[in-house]
Amino acid sequence: MSSHAANDSAQIHDVQLLARVAQGEQAALGELYDRWSLPLQALAATVFKDPAQLEDALHNTFIMLWEKAGDFDPTQGSAYAWATTWVRASTASANSTASHLDSSAARPQSSAAHPQSSAPIELPPPSAALRARILNSAVPRSSEVHHPLPFPTPPAWLGWGFAAVFSLAALFFAAKSFNVRNELQAALEAERMSRLEAGTLKNVLEAERILSRAQLERLLAADRLNAELRAQLNLGVQPAPR
Q: Please give the mean pLDDT across all residues of the chain.
A: 78
CB burial string 130-166: b at 16+ within 10 A, e below: bbebbeeebeeeeeeeeeeeeeeeeeeeeeeeeeeee
119-170, pLDDT tens digit by residue? 444 677 888 899 999 999 888 765 444 444 455 666 767 777 778 887 888 8
Provide the residue range defining the domain that includes 110.
3-144
The pTM of the full predicted model, rounded to 2 decimals, is 0.49
pLDDT greater than 60 at residue 105: no
Q: Where are the alpha helices (DSSP H) in the chain?
A: 3-22, 26-44, 51-68, 79-90, 98-111, 128-137, 143-146, 156-236
Residues 110, 25 within the same domain: yes
Does a structural domain hold residue 162?
no
**126 and 50 together in one domain:** yes
Least confident of 45-59, 83-97, 137-151, 176-190: 137-151
A 10 A CB-CB count for 221 gives 10
Q: For the segment 177-236, what is each residue's pLDDT rounded down to a tens digit?
A: 788 888 888 888 888 888 888 788 888 788 788 888 888 888 888 888 888 888 888 887
Q: Round to whole Å and give the CA distance between 17 and 72.
A: 12
We report the CATH number of the domain holding residue 20 as: 1.10.1740.10
Report the domain count for the chain: 2
Same domain, 122 and 232: no
At 72, the pLDDT band (50, 70, 90 cuts) reads very high
Q: Does residue 140 share a domain with residue 74?
A: yes
* Domain-located, residue 207: yes
In a domain, 51, yes or no: yes
| 95 — pLDDT class (breaks 50, 70, 90) | very low
Residue 151 covered by a domain? no
User: For residues 52, 58, 61 and 65, what is the CA-based torsion angle, rounded to 10 degrees?
Assistant: -140
Residue 212 inside a domain? The answer is yes
Choose between 163 and 12: higher pLDDT: 12
